[in-house]
Structure 1
Amino acid sequence: MAKKQNLSLLEMILVIIPFTNALGIDRFVMGDMKWGLIRLVIGIISVGTVGFILWVIDLLFLVQGRYQTDMLKYLK
């Protein structure tokens, strides 16, 4: 099981808000520039549809206490 990540209140709010999460803004604030840029490009290209799906996934992992900024850790 993945190590629980301690998030600040601002970071949790950014994860919960669909717009900021779908465009990767939450990742930029957390200092994960690589995944922030990837999420931004995906969000723009897909007009937010894929970003919305990724937001739902982030919310599920956040509720479970297994939220990670690195998307590849979700697959492990």
Structure 2
Amino acid sequence: MAKKNSFSLLEMILIIFPLTNALGIDRFILGDTKWGIIRLVITVLSLGTIGTILWIVDLVFLLLGKYQTDMMKYLK
């Protein structure tokens, strides 16, 4: 039986709220520091454009029940 992702209310709010997700704050809280820093830098350098796109991607995966805290799992 596959393990289902379970998130606390705080984690769900951090993922759903665009600013915390685009800046990578949700990744820091969930323990994925490397991708938190990468997302923060990408968002600042792109003036929020790419961070907003990444937020939409995370939101879609969350709604589909396939959200991962490790960004590399999205690429596999």
Normalising by structure 2, report the TM-score. 0.91
Aligned-CA RMSD value: 1.3
Normalising by structure 1, report the TM-score. 0.91
Query: Within 2, Cα distance between the matches of 1:31 and 1:44?
Result: 21
Question: Deviation digits for residues 3-32 of structure 1, max 9, x if unmatched?
Answer: 532111101100000000000000001111
User: Runs ≥4 in structure 1, deviation > 4 angstroms?
Assistant: none
Give the aligned residue type for 2:52. F
Matched, 1:31 2:35: no
Between the two proteins, the alignment pairs up a number of residues equal to 75
Query: Within 1, Cα distance between the matches of 2:27 and 2:48?
Result: 16
Q: How does 1:1-76 map to 2 (within 5 A)?
A: 4-76=4-76
Of structures 1 and 2, the one with the larger relative CO (CA 8 A, separation 6+) is 1
Query: Percent identity between the aligned chains?
Result: 69
List runs of 5+ in structure 1 lacking aligned partners. Answer: none
Give the aligned residue type for 1:27. R
